[in-house]
């Protein structure tokens, strides 16, 4: 394993872990090589940058962390719970309650308005709904304003919005109800550099306010400076 | 809460894909309309069929099967096997158990419509539907020898009016070469439409029937021997034979005994039938056909449901992104599957409601037209239990077939990874 954890300056050891993995492996099928992942340990409220070229299993790792795939071996612990041993239904509920997600593109349900897309997690999780403190709509509007989506766009069909706006709406959806973990899979790869920096600053700033840990996957190494930790996913070992 | 989410997502998704789905929904709507229409017509036709004749307890004719007797006396189809003697009719008149008798004599036609020779009793006692009597739309029932009363359908088809003269033809058929041209008849009355075979016949007196056949004993007119109208008045025109008799009894409880007595009549071989029984036997024969029709319509509905499923399965490929988002946000595979079930069910319910509106519109528009042009009486009425069940079976079937896309979505989304499938 040639990946390494670059520790941040502050004493993160005392904080409870948002996510921990050890000896994680995954195999799509018998013909393909087994993917091995470095051990992760991310304290609550801190952000992790996962770097790796294509084919190193970045998305697969996120699937394992999100509980959408089960590892071949190893341990995934989210917020102190052993996640990989839970049943699929329990993992779905856990994901709804504690994890926000942002994809590379096609982040939004095309037939819902911007606002309805943002409030979607509150409808799937009563925990996230009550965590908004106010009505989910008000919380969504607050986030959309914070993410610089003009009010005139809130009730629009999301297919009419620009890619940058769509990604920021997805960020609002991931942030609503203050989940403990946000998993972001190359969310900036379709954005130009101005939009990219703005997106990352807004996302990390708002996540920091909510004590939310962000796991950010990208092949663009220059982004690493914004994060507390970074890990490089290495070659695939057979 | 999850159900409300699924419902709102499914509704939004249906609306989003309305252009494609409107077409499959239209197909389903049309097939359900057809199904409802066929079922509706089935019950209406049966209703109008079984109410062809009413209040008549027995139909008496020469010895034959009951269907044959029913067909030629009531429906004017086919021919009598034999006649019954006038003396037999007189003997029946003396029977105290019999309240009334309508003699009828068949054999001639007018431009393809049957000529029914009868007497005043026909107007007085013949009933159809729920005991409705015959009404005249104009004029009066025949009185003279050469008076004729037209059924509503005949008058409408041939555009005849009161006091027109008509020439009857010998025997059946639309174009006859032997016409009773020496003895024209005058139209004295036109009946109201009844929606029964009564509309498709012309009515003359027994004496008139007798008069036009004087000199026709060999089957063709022998010139010089036929009657002129003037000479007919002077002659005794009591018929020697008639074709059949409709009878009404004083006490219905005696029907079977009278029937048995007539069947065993010593004077000549007779058959007496109960029209209700014969009608339902005839309907049983026809019901094979109408059931087959309903079956075919059912298959049309099934075909459109399969079409609906095919479209939903095709759309599934388009929906990979949105399913990925929902799954990653924490929606269970069950929720994803329920979207398909709700969408399919929703489309079926919309199709059924539209079909209901469509078919009621069609019936209220076509009803009057059918009555005037075909004498078929169809009115808008509330659906009966069977029709509600038939209608409800469409969403139920949709629910059943919805499990095809739902299961496939469920299975796919269970192994769904993070992000859209092609990004993995």
Nearest to A111 among B16, B333, B414 (CB): B16
Backbone angles phi, psi at B84, to 5 degrees: -115, 150
Residue B366 CA to residue B374 CA, distance in Å, equals 11
End-to-end CA separation in angstroms for chain B: 32
Q: Is the pLDDT of residue A16 over 80?
A: no
Comparing B234 with B122, which gets the higher pLDDT? B122
Residue in A with minimal Cα distance to B324: A107
E strand or H helix at B329, and its extent? none
Is the torsion defined by CA of A193, A157, A119, B328 positive or negative? Answer: negative
B295-317 tens-digit pLDDT: 888 888 888 888 888 888 888 88
Report strand pairing: B244-249 vs B98-104: antiparallel
Greatest mean pLDDT among A14-18, A24-28, B224-228: A24-28
Half-sphere exposure of A135 (CA within 13 A, CB side): 5
E strand or H helix at A36, and its extent? strand A35-36
Residue B130 CA to residue B195 CA, distance in Å, equals 13
DSSP one-letter code for B107: -
CB B58 within 8 A of CB B261: no
Interacting residues of B119 by C-beta distance below 8 A, sequence separation 6+: B102, B103, B205, B206
Widest CA span in chain B: 108
DSSP one-letter code for B54: B
- The closest of B4, B10, B36, B6 to B297, measured between CA atoms, is B36
Over residues A194-199, the mean pLDDT reads 85
3-class SS of residue A24: strand
> Using a CB-CB distance cutoff of 8 angstroms, which residues of chain A are in contact with residue B333?
88, 92
Domain boundaries defined on chain A = 12-232
3-class SS of residue B172: coil
Widest CA span in chain A: 53
> Residue A2's pLDDT band (boundaries 50, 70, 90)?
very low
DSSP one-letter code for A14: G
Number of H helices, E strands in chain B: 14, 15
Pairwise CB contact (< 8 Å): A68 & B5? no
Confidence at residue B175, expressed as pLDDT on a 0 to 100 scale = 64
**A86 and B CB contact within 8 Å:** no
Q: Is the pLDDT of residue A12 over 60?
A: no
Nearest to A59 among B12, B325, B418 (CB): B418
Residue in A with minimal Cα distance to B8: A112
Nearest to A124 among B321, B331, B414 (CB): B331
Confidence at residue B183, expressed as pLDDT on a 0 to 100 scale = 84
B220-260 tens-digit pLDDT: 777 777 777 777 777 888 888 999 999 999 888 999 999 99
Q: Is the pLDDT of residue A132 over 70?
A: yes
Pairwise CB contact (< 8 Å): A124 & B417? no
- The closest of A94, A65, A109, A15 to A214, measured between CA atoms, is A65
Q: Is the pLDDT of residue A151 over 90?
A: no
Over residues B411-415, the mean pLDDT reads 77
Q: Is the pLDDT of residue B405 over 70?
A: yes
Over residues B382-405, the mean pLDDT reads 88
- List the structure tokens of B363: 């019936």
Pairwise CB contact (< 8 Å): B414 & A88? yes
Nearest to A110 among B16, B324, B327 (CB): B16
Residue A157 bridge partners (DSSP):
A113
> Residue A221's pLDDT band (boundaries 50, 70, 90)?
confident
CB B176 within 8 A of CB B113: no
> Using a CB-CB distance cutoff of 8 angstroms, which residues of chain B are in contact with residue A126?
1
> Residue B257: left if φ>0, alpha if ψ -120 to 50, beta else—which one?
alpha
Confidence at residue B174, expressed as pLDDT on a 0 to 100 scale = 62
**A163 and B CB contact within 8 Å:** no
- The closest of B406, B401, B396 to B332, measured between CA atoms, is B406
Residue A23 CA to residue B159 CA, distance in Å, equals 98
Q: Is B255 exposed, middle or buried, given 0-12, 13-18 or 19+ CB atoms closer than 10 A? A: middle
Residue A235 CA to residue A113 CA, distance in Å, equals 41
Residue the block writes with tokens 């431009």: B111
B181-230 tens-digit pLDDT: 878 899 999 999 888 889 889 999 999 988 888 877 777 777 777 777 77
Q: Is the pLDDT of residue A10 over 50?
A: no
> Residue B179: left if φ>0, alpha if ψ -120 to 50, beta else—which one?
beta
Note the CATH architecture for domain A12-232: 3-Layer(aba) Sandwich (3.40)
Nearest to B330 among A104, A111, A125 (CB): A125
CB B74 within 8 A of CB B289: no
B38-68 tens-digit pLDDT: 888 888 778 778 888 888 999 999 998 889 9
Kindly report the nearest CA distance between residue A147 and chain B, in angstroms. 20
> Using a CB-CB distance cutoff of 8 angstroms, which residues of chain A are in contact with residue B9?
109, 112
Q: Is B155 exposed, middle or buried, given 0-12, 13-18 or 19+ CB atoms closer than 10 A? A: buried
pTM (predicted TM-score): 0.74
Kindly report the nearest CA distance between residue B393 and chain A, in angstroms. 31
Neighbours of A50 (CB within 10 A): 29
Confidence at residue B190, expressed as pLDDT on a 0 to 100 scale = 94
Residue in B with minimal Cα distance to A99: B329
Q: Is the pLDDT of residue A13 over 60?
A: no
CB B242 within 8 A of CB B86: yes
Pairwise CB contact (< 8 Å): B328 & A103? yes
């Amino acid at each position: 394993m040639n990946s390494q954890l670059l520790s941040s300056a502050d004493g993160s050891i005392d904080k409870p872990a948002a996510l921990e993995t050890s000896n994680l492996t995954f195999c799509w099928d018998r013909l393909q090589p087994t993917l091995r992942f470095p051990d992760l340990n991310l304290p609550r409220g801190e952000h992790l940058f996962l770097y790796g070229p294509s084919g190193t299993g970045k998305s697969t790792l996120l699937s394992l962390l999100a509980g959408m795939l089960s590892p071949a071996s190893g341990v995934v612990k989210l917020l102190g719970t052993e996640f990989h041993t839970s049943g699929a239904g329990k993992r779905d509920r856990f994901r709804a309650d504690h994890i926000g997600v942002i994809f590379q593109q096609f982040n939004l349900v095309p037939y819902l308005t911007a606002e309805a897309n943002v409030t979607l997690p509150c409808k799937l999780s009563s925990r996230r709904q009550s965590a908004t403190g106010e009505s989910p709509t008000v919380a969504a509007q607050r986030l959309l304003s914070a993410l610089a989506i003009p009010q005139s766009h809130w009730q629009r069909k999301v297919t009419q919005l620009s890619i940058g706006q769509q990604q920021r709406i997805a960020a609002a959806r991931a942030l609503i109800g203050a989940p403990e973990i946000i998993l972001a899979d190359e969310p900036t790869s379709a954005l130009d550099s101005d939009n990219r920096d703005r997106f990352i600053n807004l996302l990390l700033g708002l996540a920091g306010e909510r004590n939310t840990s962000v796991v950010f996957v990208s092949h663009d190494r220059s982004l690493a400076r914004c994060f507390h930790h970074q890990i490089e996913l290495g070659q695939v070992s057979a | 809460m999850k159900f409300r989410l699924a419902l709102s997502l499914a509704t939004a998704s249906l609306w989003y894909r309305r252009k494609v789905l409107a077409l499959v929904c239209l197909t389903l709507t049309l097939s359900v309309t057809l199904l409802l229409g066929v079922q509706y017509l089935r019950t209406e036709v049966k209703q109008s069929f079984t109410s062809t004749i009413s209040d008549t307890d027995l139909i008496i004719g020469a010895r034959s099967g009951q269907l044959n007797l029913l067909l030629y006396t009531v429906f004017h189809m086919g021919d009598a096997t034999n006649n019954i003697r006038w003396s037999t009719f007189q003997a029946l008149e003396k029977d105290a158990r019999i309240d009334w008798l309508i003699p009828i004599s068949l054999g001639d036609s007018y431009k393809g419509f049957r000529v029914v020779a009868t007497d005043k009793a026909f107007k007085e006692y013949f009933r159809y539907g729920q005991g409705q009597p015959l009404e005249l739309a104009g004029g009066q029932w025949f009185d003279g020898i050469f008076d004729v009363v037209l059924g509503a359908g005949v008058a409408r088809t041939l555009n005849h009016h009161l006091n027109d003269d008509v020439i009857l033809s010998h025997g059946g058929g639309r174009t006859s070469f032997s016409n009773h041209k020496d003895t024209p008849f005058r139209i004295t009355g036109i009946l109201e439409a009844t929606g029964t075979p009564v509309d498709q016949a012309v009515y003359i007196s027994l004496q008139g029937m007798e008069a036009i056949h004087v000199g026709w004993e060999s089957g063709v007119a022998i010139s010089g021997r036929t009657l002129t109208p003037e000479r007919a008045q002077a002659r005794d025109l009591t018929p020697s034979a008639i074709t059949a008799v409709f009878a009404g009894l004083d006490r219905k409880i005696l029907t079977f005994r009278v029937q048995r007595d007539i069947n065993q009549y010593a004077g000549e071989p007779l058959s007496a039938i109960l029209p209700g029984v014969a009608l339902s036997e005839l309907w049983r024969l026809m019901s094979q056909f109408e059931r087959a029709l309903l079956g075919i319509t059912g298959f049309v509905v099934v075909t459109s449901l399969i079409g609906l499923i095919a479209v939903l399965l095709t759309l599934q490929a388009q929906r990979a992104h949105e399913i990925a988002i929902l799954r990653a946000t924490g929606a269970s595979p069950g929720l994803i599957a329920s979207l398909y079930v709700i969408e399919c069910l929703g489309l079926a319910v919309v199709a059924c409601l539209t079909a209901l509106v469509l078919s009621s519109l069609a019936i209220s528009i076509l009803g009057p037209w059918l009555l005037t042009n075909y004498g078929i009486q169809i009115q808008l009425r509330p659906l009966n239990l069977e029709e509600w069940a038939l209608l409800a079976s469409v969403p139920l079937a949709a629910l059943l077939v919805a499990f095809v896309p739902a299961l496939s979505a469920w299975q796919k989304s269970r192994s769904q990874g993070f992000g859209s499938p092609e990004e993995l």
